[in-house]
A and B are shown apart, each in its own frame.
Chain A
Amino acid sequence: MKRNLLALLSLLVLASMVLAACGGGAATEAPAPEQPEQPAAPATEEPAPATEAPAMPEFEGKSLMAADCDSTGIIKGVEATGQYEVTFTLCQPDPAFLSKIAFSVYGIYPEEWLAATAGDEGRTSEGLEKPVGTGPYMVSEWNRGESITFTANPNYWGTPASADTLVFRWSTESAQRLLELQSGTVDAIDNVGPEDFETVSNDPNLKLMDRPALNVFYLAMTNTFAPFDNQDVRQAIAKGIDRQRIVDTFYPPGSEVASHFTPCAIPNGCAGDPWYDFDPEAARAQLAAAGYPDGFKTKIYYRDVVRGYLPQVSNVAQDIQAQLKENLNIDAEIVVMESGAFIEESSAGRLDGFYLLGWGADFPHVTNFLDYHFGAANPQFGNQSPTYTEVLAKAAQIADPAEAEPLYVEANNAIREYVPMIPVAHGGSGTAWRADVTNPQASPLSNEVFYVTDPGGRDVFVWMQNAEPISMFCADETDGESLRACEQVVEALYSYEVNGTAVEPALATGCEPNDTLDVWVCALREGVTFHDGTTFDANDVVATFTMGLDASSPLHKGNTNVFEYYDYLWGLMNKPAE
């Protein structure tokens, strides 16, 4: 008996060892042949012309050109028409071209580096963690889970960075962020807790910066699930939520109730009728008429992540739960989800109840709010209504805001009628800085740049934000915490002014459109070098857009390979058929 048992045990041990050996073997074997291939494969294709370029006196311009406008989105082609001139050809006029091109996701990378870090399945870890750009700072070290250290770029073309070293840290707890700031271990923090606004403004050692509310928090419903498929139900809920109460109780000063989805500070944002007034009587009547006199059971999904548009997530969720019960007799169970899963499920329209989400402006244009959320292709609210999708598509091609206004009035009124979601608030948020730091910022676009800040003569400037960047290859990221880190390193053709929303030339000295706004010629800045020493020219711009736009290119590799912003703002080229 005992001997049998021993034999069995030893067999089991042996088996597990074999398994472990095989498993480990597979894991270590698989990447082994890849590693030599990775640099080798693109190396034969790409660096050949690159090494030729300096040798030959004539500049050989590259180009990216779609076969026709059916196989691409807005951009038909990007051509290097000179060593320092790039021509963008569009399939339709784009009045927001400069606002969009300045977005840090479209930062320019050196051509050779893009080829060298394009792995087989996705960007190599070198590419994801140590981006090479032209910016004022270079990544020197990323301790996962700890901090990211940047060093100043000695060859920066613009004003050199004030502090030699920049450190990014993060903490999800606003109390901890404030504590670190008060104790002086960090120089500035993002998203001061709503309860701490007073503490910070009363502290002579600290400076509070209010960030304008260029965002929106909305209560969404997916209308492919009953009972949200009934427009009357959605309208009843819209009237049955006291949004003023939510803003008054849970939002910091500087926040406002959303009268429209788009904040009023953005041209045409507030066109059309304001949102429904709170009217519980009418709401109950309408819900009863729609066939739910006793309410119904549903869920409220959210992710426990603080954003400027939603500073107190769980409290707001509970208040909406209480209001639904009190005003409409709707029983809503609260479900907290992991952030990544929540975004995946909600954006695919798979959540069968309410969900709490919001949006912060990437660039200050009404299309950044409306077209992203209410385009025909977006399934996050279920079925979109043609009453606004068609109007929005038409309005997006008009450059003059005054001319586009009637269309935005029509679109906003149609959204109000259809209620794909309920806009609740434009949340004010704030950053806090040690008082001796010059140029404190609270950018309306949440893209603070730190080379202009001087931390009171100290060598190191430490910034603490909400969360760790996901990766630093921002061409394929959407997360604001990641984008802010990239903005210190990589630059686009244009940029937004510090602490503002206006665009100003960066790597381009200027981009001029033709009369019909569908060809833009950009003159590039000369004498700019990348962190790796290579010289910036038009081919780097072409390679960057090839990497982002052309789904068939070997360069089209990122963190998730989705390239959401390239796809959403421009439309990918040569998308594989689904």
Chain B
Amino acid sequence: MTNAENDIKSLNAEGISLKSVSLWQITWRRLFRRLSALVGMTILGILVFIALTAHWIAPYAYDDVLIGKEDVKARQAPCIHMFGCPKDQPQHIAGIDGNVRDEFSRLLYGARLSLMVGFSTVTFAIIIGTVLGAIAGYVGGWLDNLIMRFMDVLLAFPSLLLAIAIVTVLGPGLINALLAIGIVSIPAYARVVRASVLSVREMEYVSATRALGGDSFQILFRRIMPNALTPLIVQGTLGIASAILDAAALSFLGLGAQPPLPEWGSMLGAERNQVFTAPHLVFLPGIAIALTVLSFNLLGDGLRDALDPRLAHVS
């Protein structure tokens, strides 16, 4: 006893706390130590802020046609007073789009759409994928075979191609595009969950719960599933990036968000012919998509490293 107490005292003296530290706290700390993750989180923070406050910070509504209201032409170049644009002209930081709307406002509102697309599709895919993967892994046998072979079939198609096929059947539109991207990304999550379920299914603490009379539902969701959480979070964060990219691609092809919604992909697609005459209308939405995807990728990478105990010594 006394020995132990002494040990603790000496440890305290060295400034090391024995207070229990949860996995999340460790992860958080590790995350903050990685520059790339920090950059990702910063960009994402700004995006979320823009998305939440777009209707306050945007100078115009996204569908506000300025013909007759201001002296502007379609596809006019950006006019920023700070950089020498005459003060008597109305300021448009990102120029005017092909339908005489303020491009900057549309870009801001676009952040809302893109984040919504990313989060909703991935949430949808995670819920369905988790249920399918958990059942497949826990029950096993022919059901496992059936579910996982179906997932293999889904994985066998290039995801964007499959999404296009689904949208073609459902009809174009933002909701249908979300559904299509959600369906396409289910197999990734189902696989991740199934793998973690398989790895812990036969462990002693699970057997113990079973011996104590816990029912399958309790075992699966209280004892086994928490182990699948970390890989799911990593997969989900990276998945948001690819979902946003897919949604932009579908909208570019005219299958996703329908006008006048300011989806970045559709804004880019609508003006692709003007790449030489009005480059700001093509590059700015493109940069916005790239930044968003980059931020989720950086954060996802950071999270993966931070959550991986084998990489603990690195940080």
Measured CA separation A249–B98 after assembly (Å)? 9
Would you call B270 an interface residue if the criterion is a C-beta within 8 Å of the partner chain's C-beta atoms?
Answer: yes
Most B CB contacts (10 A, CB to CB) among A193, A196, A315, A335 go to: A315
User: What 1/0 flags go to B255-285 for Cβ under 8 Å of A?
Assistant: 0001110000000001011111110000000
Q: Is the CB of A322 within 8 A of B65?
A: yes
Q: A286-317: which residues lie under 8 A (CB-CB) from chain B?
A: 304, 312, 314-315, 317
Q: Which of B10-18, B67-75, B128-136 makes up part of the contact surface?
A: B67-75
Would you call B144 an interface residue if the criterion is a C-beta within 8 Å of the partner chain's C-beta atoms?
Answer: no
User: What 1/0 flags go to B91-132 for Cβ under 8 Å of A?
Assistant: 000000011100000000000000000000000000000000
Q: Is the CB of B99 within 8 A of A175?
A: no
Known A-B contacts A319-B65, A322-B63; the reply to A196 vs B259 at CB < 8 A is: no
Would you call A504 an interface residue if the criterion is a C-beta within 8 Å of the partner chain's C-beta atoms?
Answer: no
Most B CB contacts (10 A, CB to CB) among A249, A333, A335 go to: A249
Would you call A318 an interface residue if the criterion is a C-beta within 8 Å of the partner chain's C-beta atoms?
Answer: yes
Q: Is the CB of B277 within 8 A of A199?
A: yes
Question: Which of A199, A304, A322 is within 8 Å of B99, CB to CB?
Answer: A322
Measured CA separation A321–B272 after assembly (Å)? 21
Question: Which of B65, B172, B259, B277 is within 8 Å of A195, CB to CB?
Answer: B277
Name the A residues within 8 Å of B254 (CB-CB): 304, 336
Known A-B contacts A173-B272, A175-B272; the reply to A249 vs B100 at CB < 8 A is: yes
Measured CA separation A326–B273 after assembly (Å)? 28
User: What 1/0 flags go to B235-260 for Cβ under 8 Å of A?
Assistant: 00000000000000000001000111
Would you call A394 an interface residue if the criterion is a C-beta within 8 Å of the partner chain's C-beta atoms?
Answer: no
Measured CA separation A199–B75 after assembly (Å)? 15
Question: Which of A195, A304, A321 is within 8 Å of B260, CB to CB?
Answer: A321
Q: Is the CB of B272 within 8 A of A195?
A: no
Q: Is the CB of A333 within 8 A of B274?
A: no
Would you call A458 an interface residue if the criterion is a C-beta within 8 Å of the partner chain's C-beta atoms?
Answer: no
Chain A residue, CB-CB nearest to B259: A318
Question: Which of A174, A249, A315 is within 8 Å of B270, CB to CB?
Answer: A315
Q: A158-198: which residues lie under 8 A (CB-CB) from chain B?
A: 173-175, 178-179, 193, 195-196
Distance (whole angstroms) from the CB of B154 to the closest CB of chain A: 19
Name the A residues within 8 Å of B259 (CB-CB): 314, 317-318, 321, 334
Question: Which of B258, B260, B273 is within 8 Å of A173, CB to CB?
Answer: B273
Measured CA separation A314–B273 after assembly (Å)? 12
Name the A residues within 8 Å of B278 (CB-CB): 195
Q: Is the CB of A333 within 8 A of B258?
A: yes
Measured CA separation A249–B66 after assembly (Å)? 11
Name the B residues within 8 Å of A314 (CB-CB): 259, 270
Q: Is the CB of A195 within 8 A of B63?
A: no
Q: Is the CB of A315 within 8 A of B277?
A: no
Q: Is the CB of A175 within 8 A of B274?
A: yes
Known A-B contacts A245-B68, A312-B98, A322-B99; the reply to A175 vs B276 at CB < 8 A is: yes
Name the B residues within 8 Å of A195 (CB-CB): 75, 273-274, 277-278
Q: Is the CB of B276 within 8 A of A318?
A: no
Measured CA separation A245–B260 after assembly (Å)? 18
Chain B residue, CB-CB nearest to A176: B273
Q: Is the CB of B273 within 8 A of A318?
A: no
Q: Is the CB of A322 within 8 A of B260?
A: yes
Q: A427-441: which residues lie under 8 A (CB-CB) from chain B?
A: none
Question: Which of B67, B68, B272, B277 is within 8 Å of A196, CB to CB?
Answer: B277
Distance (whole angstroms) from the CB of A13 to the closest CB of chain B: 15
Chain B residue, CB-CB nearest to A333: B258
Question: Which of A174, A196, A249, A326 is within 8 Å of B74, CB to CB?
Answer: A249
Q: Is the CB of A318 within 8 A of B99?
A: yes
Most B CB contacts (10 A, CB to CB) among A195, A312, A335 go to: A195
Distance (whole angstroms) from the CB of B177 to the closest CB of chain A: 14
Distance (whole angstroms) from the CB of B101 to the closest CB of chain A: 9
Measured CA separation A321–B259 after assembly (Å)? 9
Measured CA separation A334–B63 after assembly (Å)? 14
Chain B residue, CB-CB nearest to A179: B276
Distance (whole angstroms) from the CB of B197 to the closest CB of chain A: 22
Would you call A250 an interface residue if the criterion is a C-beta within 8 Å of the partner chain's C-beta atoms?
Answer: yes
Measured CA separation A333–B276 after assembly (Å)? 30
Name the A residues within 8 Å of B100 (CB-CB): 249
Name the A residues within 8 Å of B272 (CB-CB): 173, 175
Distance (whole angstroms) from the CB of B253 to the closest CB of chain A: 10
Name the A residues within 8 Å of B270 (CB-CB): 314-315
Distance (whole angstroms) from the CB of A213 to the closest CB of chain B: 20
Name the B residues within 8 Å of A179 (CB-CB): 276
Chain A residue, CB-CB nearest to B255: A336
Name the A residues within 8 Å of B277 (CB-CB): 193, 195-196, 199
Q: Is the CB of A318 within 8 A of B260?
A: yes
Measured CA separation A174–B277 after assembly (Å)? 12
Question: Which of B98, B172, B276 is within 8 Å of A315, CB to CB?
Answer: B98
Distance (whole angstroms) from the CB of A148 to the closest CB of chain B: 24
Q: Is the CB of A334 within 8 A of B74?
A: no
Name the B residues within 8 Å of A321 (CB-CB): 259-260
Name the B residues within 8 Å of A325 (CB-CB): 63
Measured CA separation A318–B258 after assembly (Å)? 10
Most A CB contacts (10 A, CB to CB) among B63, B100, B273 go to: B273
Q: Is the CB of A334 within 8 A of B274?
A: no
Known A-B contacts A173-B272, A195-B274, A322-B63; the reply to A336 vs B98 at CB < 8 A is: no
Measured CA separation A195–B74 after assembly (Å)? 10
Name the B residues within 8 Å of A318 (CB-CB): 99, 259-260
Q: Is the CB of A175 within 8 A of B275?
A: yes
Name the A residues within 8 Å of B99 (CB-CB): 315, 318-319, 322
Measured CA separation A317–B278 after assembly (Å)? 20
Question: Which of B67, B172, B260, B275 is within 8 Å of A336, CB to CB?
Answer: B172
Most A CB contacts (10 A, CB to CB) among B68, B274, B278 go to: B274
Most B CB contacts (10 A, CB to CB) among A174, A312, A326 go to: A312
Q: Is the CB of B67 within 8 A of A249?
A: yes
Name the A residues within 8 Å of B75 (CB-CB): 195
Most A CB contacts (10 A, CB to CB) among B68, B254, B277 go to: B277
Most A CB contacts (10 A, CB to CB) among B98, B172, B272 go to: B98
Name the B residues within 8 Å of A250 (CB-CB): 74
Measured CA separation A318–B68 after assembly (Å)? 16
Measured CA separation A175–B68 after assembly (Å)? 29
User: What 1/0 flags go to A502-544 for Cβ under 8 Å of B?
Assistant: 0000000000000000000000000000000000000000000
Chain B residue, CB-CB nearest to A245: B67
Known A-B contacts A249-B67, A250-B74, A318-B99; the reply to A193 vs B260 at CB < 8 A is: no
Name the B residues within 8 Å of A333 (CB-CB): 258
Name the A residues within 8 Å of B274 (CB-CB): 175, 193, 195
Chain A residue, CB-CB nearest to B67: A245
Chain B residue, CB-CB nearest to A336: B254
Measured CA separation A304–B172 after assembly (Å)? 14
Measured CA separation A422–B274 after assembly (Å)? 29
Chain A residue, CB-CB nearest to B282: A175
Measured CA separation A267–B44 after assembly (Å)? 64
Measured CA separation A336–B269 after assembly (Å)? 14
Known contacts A195-B274, A321-B259, then 10 further A-B pairs from the complex at CB < 8 Å, ordered by chain A residue: A173-B272, A174-B273, A175-B272, A175-B276, A178-B276, A195-B278, A250-B74, A312-B98, A315-B74, A322-B99
Listed A/B pairs (8) with beta-carbon separation below 8 Å: A178-B276, A193-B277, A249-B100, A304-B254, A315-B270, A317-B259, A318-B260, A319-B65
Task: List the 7 closest pairs (A to B, CB-CB), nearest first.
Answer: A195-B277, A175-B273, A318-B259, A315-B98, A322-B65, A318-B99, A334-B259
